[in-house]
A and B are shown apart, each in its own frame.
Chain A
Amino acid sequence: MTSKQSPPLRLTIWRQYGREMSVGVFLLLLLGYFGSTPGFLRAENLRDILINAAPLVIAACGMTMVIVAGMIDISAGSALAVCAVVAGITAKAGAPLPLMLLLPMLTGAAIGAVNGWLVAWLRVPAIIVTLGMMSVLRGGIIWWTRGEWIGNLPPSFSAIGRGEVVGVPTPVVIALGVVLFVALLLARTPFGRHIYAVGGNPVAAARMGISVRRVLWLVFMLHGMLLGLSAVVYASRFSVIQSNAGIGFELLAISAVVVGGVNIFGGQGTVWGSALGALLLQVIGTGLIFRRVSEYWAPSVQGALVLLAVVTDALRTRRAGQ
């Protein structure tokens, strides 16, 4: 406010975080709309919404980096299943807590490393690489587990998904931590700025001396690691782990990111928007049940929202260009 520069602070904030703020406003409007149904705004329900959204928020953070870098990952749902099974097996083997977190994250990072390597060094389009990876992992997990679910999980594992840290559910704490971490990474580090540069214009980025390959590879690995963490939070919530979990999860994560204002062609967007986008999708899912809307409509409504978000984004960028 004290600054003498020409655009006042209010306008700068709006210009920088316009999309995030409009998603936030939209979220509040929805909460108001669904809030008129009995029980929706009760603390217990809001708490459940936050817990259930946590794995999606975490995955959306990783997906944000991937999309900002101009890439895409549609193997995320299959990777989630693989990491969840790894988490379950590790937990059942009696591993200590750090290992239960670490092994799935390493698994995710390994999957990301393969995806990233194929994309960065062999220059195969990300959509093709991850499409192949999606089937490889999905088939592999069925072959490996023989379709069996993993039950009898130890309490130390379930404590991750159902525990609390000073009154706040652990999944929510983890999700918040991840959002903060990725936000700082993207906004405050040279690596973060390189991601935007690579996503915005890879040729220019390379001329600036950025190693595009290395950035892409690291982005996929980090994203894989976060997927592993997301899988732990997801799986530890349940008494049995479905070996075939997360079908369609990748689309939810991509939707969350796009609804949150990240440019699908890369170079623009923040992790705050994606986190809000993930919350928005969860609120809609729960809200439609409370509103007693036919479940047949839920997927259409979610799809319509994504379209709405993309269209407004396109209009905004067009206006900005003029």
Chain B
Amino acid sequence: MRTAAICVIIVVAMLSLFTACSRKQAGPSAAKNVEKKLVVAVMPKLKGIDYFNAVERGAKEAAQELGNVELTYDGPIEGKVDLQIPFIESWTLQKVDVIAVACNDPDAIAPALKRAREKGVRVITYDADANAEKSGREFFVNQATFEDIGRALVDEMAAQAGEDAKVAIVSSSPTAPNQNAWIAVMKRYMAERYPKMQIVTIQYPEEDQGRAFSMTQDILKTYPDVKGIFGISSVAFPGAADAVRQAGKSGKIAVVGLSTPKSMREFVKDGTVKTVILWNPVDLGYLTVYVAKAVLDGTLQRGATEFEAGRLGKVKVQGDQVLLGAPMKFTAENIDQYDF
């Protein structure tokens, strides 16, 4: 009995320590309604990683440019949907004007967003969508379609390793939705455009650098005629590049993939990786705040096909999605300009 009580106390203590840490980070931006300023609350999947730090920077830039927008940027420190919901609930109570969310789960978050809508808060999503129907969100700011990314990856591989190359894919977990959608596009596009290109194997190292590394080593040994490796997660790409480099095959085997430029910089510098493909998360945050403002103003409505977003110029609108545009390529020439 006593032991059980102590267990409970300790678990509670640990949890409260945890929330204390995350509270502290909430900082000064907690929404305060200054006269007539529009309050836009932006939530990342999780705080504290390079990628969403870059999103935050873009969002701040847009808020400053627009002038009458007050930005609240906050979210959980772990990418879990149940940690996102309390933020939405408190923002709803505070009656912010717009909530923009990068969702950790499309369905689980929907009821909370729906309740916010019913209380008169406008809701959009970015980076990762919510279930459009169940959440009632108005627009999804889409950083890059699966189609665009899949094609860009395959085109880049064809250019580097040849149109008839044998290639392998190092992915994330076998159930990761983004990775699986990209793989589906890649397979289809390869069949259409480069019928001689062949995928010899797909490996799933989960989110583990060590496994991505050793799996790539094993791929190189098992399939000696492989000419290119796709690393299609921010963990798989550096892991695969590292294995190719340490095998002394930099420049002989093409490594193409998706990750943040910062984590790939040293591989790009030494020539193991020629191109890193990704969208620009700063621009994503920037566009999200512009869309939030326009939804509130009524300047962006369903049925529009184009949308003017500050320094990004005109971006495309398809149905209920605002598209950031073609994926970006980071190479030895431009990679130093980006610090995310």
By a beta-carbon cutoff of 8 Å, the part of chain A in contact with chain B is 37, 39, 42, 44-45, 48, 52, 55, 118, 122-125, 128-129, 132, 135-136, 138-140, 142-143, 146-149, 151-152, 162, 234, 237-240, 242, 244-248, 285-286, 289-290, 292, 295-296
CA distance A109 to B189 in the complex (A): 52
Q: Can you spell out 25 A-B residue pairs with CB atoms less than 8 angstroms apart?
A: A39-B224, A44-B221, A52-B214, A55-B210, A124-B3, A125-B3, A125-B7, A129-B10, A135-B14, A136-B14, A139-B18, A142-B77, A142-B78, A146-B50, A146-B53, A147-B48, A149-B262, A151-B263, A151-B266, A239-B246, A240-B209, A240-B266, A245-B209, A290-B218, A295-B201
Q: Are B246 and A286 in contact (CB under 8 A)?
A: no
Smallest CB gap from B217: residue in A: A48
CA distance A292 to B201 in the complex (A): 8
Contacts of B245 in A (CB 8 A): 239
Min CB gap A177→B, angstroms: 21
Q: Are A132 and B10 in contact (CB under 8 A)?
A: yes
Min CB gap A87→B, angstroms: 14
Contacts of A240 in B (CB 8 A): 209, 238, 242, 263, 266
Decide yes or no: A295 and B18 within 8 Å by CB, A128-B7, A149-B238, A238-B209 being known contacts: no
Min CB gap A282→B, angstroms: 8
B34 at the interface (CB under 8 A from A): no
CA distance A123 to B4 in the complex (A): 10
Min CB gap A84→B, angstroms: 10
Q: Are A247 and B208 in contact (CB under 8 A)?
A: yes
Contacts of A139 in B (CB 8 A): 18, 21, 77-78
B230 at the interface (CB under 8 A from A): no
CA distance A44 to B263 in the complex (A): 29
Interface SS of chain B? helix
A132 contact from B14, B215, B263, Cβ within 8 A: B14
Q: Are A248 and B262 in contact (CB under 8 A)?
A: no
B222 at the interface (CB under 8 A from A): yes
B207 contact from A37, A124, A247, Cβ within 8 A: A247
Contacts of A147 in B (CB 8 A): 48-51
Smallest CB gap from A296: residue in B: B174
Contacts of A125 in B (CB 8 A): 3, 7
Smallest CB gap from B263: residue in A: A149
Q: Are A244 and B207 in contact (CB under 8 A)?
A: yes
By a beta-carbon cutoff of 8 Å, the part of chain B in contact with chain A is 3, 6-7, 10-11, 14, 17-18, 21, 25, 46, 48-51, 53, 77-78, 174, 201-204, 206-211, 213-215, 217-219, 221-222, 224, 235, 238-239, 242, 245-246, 262-263, 265-267
Min CB gap B241→A, angstroms: 8
Contacts of A132 in B (CB 8 A): 10-11, 14
Q: Are A143 and B77 in contact (CB under 8 A)?
A: yes
CA distance A142 to B75 in the complex (A): 14
A247 contact from B14, B206, B213, B219, Cβ within 8 A: B206
For the complex with contacts A135-B18, A142-B77, A295-B203, 19 further pairs of A-B residues with Cβ separation under 8 Å are: A42-B221, A48-B217, A118-B10, A123-B6, A124-B10, A140-B21, A143-B25, A147-B49, A149-B263, A152-B266, A234-B210, A238-B213, A240-B266, A247-B206, A248-B208, A289-B201, A289-B215, A289-B219, A289-B222
Q: Are B3 and A292 in contact (CB under 8 A)?
A: no
CA distance A48 to B218 in the complex (A): 9
Contacts of B14 in A (CB 8 A): 132, 135-136
B206 contact from A124, A136, A146, A248, Cβ within 8 A: A248
Decide yes or no: A162 and B246 within 8 Å by CB, A132-B14, A289-B203, A295-B174 being known contacts: yes
A292 contact from B222, B224, B267, Cβ within 8 A: B222
Contacts of B211 in A (CB 8 A): 285
CA distance A238 to B242 in the complex (A): 7
Min CB gap A124→B, angstroms: 5
CA distance A135 to B11 in the complex (A): 11
Contacts of B3 in A (CB 8 A): 123-125
Contacts of B46 in A (CB 8 A): 142
Q: Are B221 and A242 in contact (CB under 8 A)?
A: no
Q: Are A136 and B18 in contact (CB under 8 A)?
A: yes
Q: Are A148 and B235 in contact (CB under 8 A)?
A: no
A148 contact from B50, B206, B224, Cβ within 8 A: B50
B221 contact from A52, A55, A290, A292, Cβ within 8 A: A290
Contacts of A140 in B (CB 8 A): 21
A295 contact from B11, B53, B78, B202, Cβ within 8 A: B202
Min CB gap A72→B, angstroms: 15
Min CB gap B45→A, angstroms: 11
Min CB gap B319→A, angstroms: 33
CA distance A113 to B30 in the complex (A): 38
Residue among A52, A143, A244, A248 with most chain B CB within 10 A: A143
CA distance A27 to B5 in the complex (A): 45
Min CB gap A151→B, angstroms: 5
CA distance A260 to B11 in the complex (A): 32
Q: Are A124 and B6 in contact (CB under 8 A)?
A: yes
CA distance A45 to B222 in the complex (A): 10
Contacts of B174 in A (CB 8 A): 295-296
Contacts of A292 in B (CB 8 A): 201, 222
Closest 5 CB pairs of A and B: A147-B49, A242-B209, A289-B218, A132-B14, A146-B48
